[in-house]
Amino acid sequence: MSEKIEVRFRLNGEDVTVLTKANRRLLDVLRDDFHLTGTKEGCSVGECGACTVIVDNKAVTSCLMLIGSCEGREVVTIEGISSPDSLSPVQRAIIEHQAIQCGFCTPGFVMSATALLKENPNPTYDEIKTALSGNLCRCTGYKQIIDAIYDVAQHANQAEPERRDRGMVSDSGGRPLPWEPFSKPEVCELSGGKGNEGQ
């Protein structure tokens, strides 16, 4: 029987602590302790990708990761990539491309795609296919999913000059997206110069 340990990590932008057995899977802790049920259990052996989360900006299968290895790390689940009133660009694109049938695998695809676009904002079609190779879908084909992610990347790259010019950016459906600062001076400018406090 495994002894309980205290594990501290960052979960969806918040510092959390969990007292649990070290040999529990991250997947079980997310679903049972934090009630984040968007992360699905499919194969339990790391082959289907339904349980994919982002750990330190990399897509990982949470069914293979022990909670003890999360100490001091940053974990993001499907619940952490959007706000209650707004979907992430990848989520919107999946819907717009009708790339969902039963939806069970969708969170894993979204998380793998989100990690890819964070690391490589301008992936080729083949790079997207490679990044999604650990995610299985038994309902649809993969074309709509890959097309959706490719469109997100293309749209973001077209919107880049608009962001730099402080213009409004729209998603592929014409809905406005917020402008995001890219540097510390831009953050300070947006916050009225308050970004340097405490330094």
Which pLDDT score is estimated for 8?
98
Q: Are 142 and 174 in contact (CB under 8 A)?
A: no
| Residue 91 neighbours by CB distance under 10 Å | 20
Q: Are 108 and 52 in contact (CB under 8 A)?
A: yes
Tracing tokens 């009630």 back to the chain, one arrives at: 35
Which pLDDT score is estimated for 190?
54
Which pLDDT score is estimated for 197?
46
Phi and psi at residue 128, to the nearest 5°: -65, -45
Q: Are 190 and 111 in contact (CB under 8 A)?
A: no
Structural domains for the chain: 4-80 (3.10.20.30), 89-190 (1.10.150.120)
Tell me the two tokens of residue 7: 């594990």
Cβ within 8 Å of residue 64, ≥6 positions away: 25, 45, 46
pTM score: 0.77
Which pLDDT score is estimated for 156?
81
What strands lie across the sheet with 4-11, from one edge to the other?
14-21, 4-11, 74-76, 52-55, 58-61
Task: Please choose, from the candidates 164, 162, 129, 130, the residue with its C-alpha nearest in 3D space to the C-alpha of residue 143.
Answer: 129
Which pLDDT score is estimated for 191?
56
Mean pLDDT by 10 residues, the chain (199 residues): 89 98 96 98 95 98 97 98 92 94 94 97 96 92 94 81 45 48 51 50
In DSSP terms, which residues pair with 10 in a beta bridge? 15, 74
